[in-house]
Homo-oligomer: A and B are copies of this chain.
Amino acid sequence: MSVHEHKKLLEELGVDVERHAKMMEMGYEGYKNQFMSQTNRPKAMEYFDWFMSEVQGQRIAEINELRKNKKPAIGAFCIFVPEEIIVGAGGACFGLCGGSPATIADAETELPRNICPLIKSAYGFKLQKTCAYTQSADFIYGETTCEAKKKTWELLNKHHPVKVMNIPHMKREKDLKMWKEELSEFKEHMEEITKKPLTFEEMKNGVKIVNEKRFALQRLDRLRSMNGSDVIPISAKDALFITQISFLDDPIRFTQKLNDLCDELEQRVKENNSVYKKETPRLMVLGTPFALPNWKLHTAVETSGGAIVNEESCIGHRYYKDNVDIDEIKDEDSLMEKLLQKYSSVDCACFTPNTPRIDKILQMYKDRKLDGVIYYSLSFCHTYNVEAKLVTDALEKEGIPALVIESDYSPEDAGQIKTRVEAFLESINFKKMKKN
């Protein structure tokens, strides 16, 4: 698609083209500075670098090509939206822009200041019309995992078509039964777009495609820190960026490119080629998601001599840890049942109780031979913030070093975060030294 044609498409989508162009340019500059300046990067990152250069270019054109053919284009904020069904319908499921401070002042003209920056940022992108993903969404598919989002849908619906999936906050049998009904309703909403019934075979194909994507992400996770050596073959920022892109890219192409990268990472492990110095403290980040381009914490850790080898976040391990048991799928009902099983395994802090999350975290810590964890919460995220106490109590009991950070998207606290991370890494290094 020519530059001229693309501009025309953006205009048709109602994008504020001029402002959008400026934001894209700034975003790409930021990426080049923070990512492409890294040394010893895997060669296969080239694809992801290219994707960033076309993040609202070719990908937006592809999504709108699908829309022309009555395929659904669904924008989401949450990993509970069953992308298998969208992909099965031949459509695209994508994460809405929501990681930038540049739209927050606009959002605050309609939303309270003291809610999570992810919601405000995304809402601001809609008001500004500076996200081509948001503008391309047939529906923004909301859910009820947090009350700030739940109530924001009522406002956002005045600016864009919104549907809401009611996610229960307990996992009793009756809650799961209702959840399954939500999955069926979700399917019906896709059929409103495609104007034809979505077949069992199509949905099963969607499950297959998304399973493959999750397998590739699991493979990346293992290669980062469970590869049988101390080698960390990819930087934390690159690995995070790949996970961020998994919410935007075409899943088949993405899976192929990620597997290519993993092949290269395997080779690097064999060759003892680590992007970090020996003895670099290995950290895991727990908590809330890092939406593109929120790289603040990762930058702070990497510039302070630490390595992050896993994000236990929704843009991270929580997203890809479970697959849909495709072998047990015989018909539409069992497909919905297995989808439900996958989604209800998600250990979001919206659930009460949510104790399996704590057991999982302790296990992840052991499996990845970590030195410490950072509990990261977006500001004003009540669920993850309150749950932090239960998690850090459990970590303390096991003698696991933990740092709790609450932050938003403003660059103002970057220095303070770096100082805290440095002190945390120092205490870890001191502990390691004493041990040896």
Chain A residues proximal to chain B, CB less than 8 Å = 110-112, 114-115, 144, 146-148, 150-155, 164, 166, 169-170, 174, 178, 181, 349-350, 352-354, 379-380, 382-383, 385-390, 406
Tell whether, in the assembled complex, residue B114 and residue A154 are in contact, meaning their CB atoms are under 8 Å apart: no
Minimum CB distance partner of A181 in chain B: B174
B151 touches A352 (CB 8 A): yes
Given the complex of chains A and B, what is the CA–CA distance between A227 and B379 in angstroms?
47
Which B residues touch A151, using CB under 8 A? 349, 352, 382-383, 386-387
Q: Do B111 and A114 touch (CB < 8 A)?
A: no
Point out which of A151, A155, A406 has the most chain B C-beta atoms below 10 A from its C-beta: A151
A379 partner residues in chain B, CB cutoff 8 A:
114
Cβ-defined contact, B352 with A150, below 8 A: yes
9 of the cross-chain contacts (CB-CB < 8 Å) are: A112-B385, A115-B386, A148-B382, A148-B386, A151-B352, A151-B383, A152-B386, A154-B352, A154-B354
Say whether B352 contacts A115, CB under 8 Å.
no
Contacts of A387 in B (CB 8 A): 151, 154
> Which one of B155, B181, B354, B389 contacts A389 once the chains associate, using CB atoms below 8 Å?
B155
User: Which residues of chain B are within 8 angstroms of A178 by Cβ–Cβ distance?
Assistant: 174, 178
Contacts of A112 in B (CB 8 A): 382, 385-386, 388, 406
Q: Give the residues in chain B near A155, CB-CB below 8 Å.
A: 386, 389-390
| CA A164 to CA B169, docked complex, whole Å | 12
CA distance A390 to B380 in the complex (A): 21
Selected from B166, B174, B380, the residue in CB contact (under 8 A) with A380 is B380
CB distance from A207 to the nearest CB of B (A): 26
Closest-by-CB residue of B relative to A112 is B385
* Bound Cα distance A174, B182 (Å): 12
Residues of chain B within 8 A (CB-CB) of A382 are 112, 115, 146-148, 151, 380, 382
A111 touches B386 (CB 8 A): yes
Task: Say whether A352 contacts B174, CB under 8 Å.
Answer: no
Is A154 a contact of B110 with CB atoms below 8 Å? no
